[in-house]
Amino acid sequence: MRPLEVEHIGGELAIRWDDGAEDFILLEKLRRACPCAGCKGEVDILGNLYKNPDKPFATNSFELARIISVGGYALQPVWADGHNTGIFSFDYLRRVATAK
Ligand SMILES: [Zn+2]
């Protein structure tokens, strides 16, 4: 499954998938779901989670500067506050989109 079209519309990311589904993801929800090690922490081989304390978001943390497509399997949002280390695989993106 992969997105055919990704569009940044106002405060949302609109995605049209190749199975015909369409999702609108609030940018705030997308940012909060950032899967990078800095946001989500890293799990070691014994299952211990190492995570930085939550940093407060800035006012522009939920603004999307641009979005980069990564190797045909993921999207990498560049946020207006400079954060850009989160790589959202298409599967993960779909899960974020459909999560309540
Ligand atoms: Zn992150």
Q: How do residues 17-28 score in pLDDT, each as one tens digit?
A: 999 999 999 999
Q: Is 11 exposed, middle or buried (0-12, 13-18, 19+ CB in 10 A)?
A: middle
Backbone angles phi, psi at 50, to 5 degrees: -110, 120
Ligand 1 centroid, distance to 5 Cα (angstroms): 23
Domain assignment of residue 82, given as a range: 3-98
Overall domain count for the chain: 1
Ligand 1 centroid, distance to 31 Cα (angstroms): 7
Q: Which pLDDT score, from 0 to 100, does residue 50 have? A: 84
Residue 42 contacts residue 50 (beta carbons within 8 Å): yes
Rounded to two decimals, the pTM is 0.88
Backbone angles phi, psi at 43, to 5 degrees: -105, 130
Q: What CATH number is associated with residue 71? A: 3.30.2020.30
Averaged pLDDT for residues 69-90: 96
Note residues around ion ligand 1 (Cβ under 5 angstroms).
Answer: 34, 36, 39, 86
Ligand 1 centroid, distance to 92 Cα (angstroms): 14
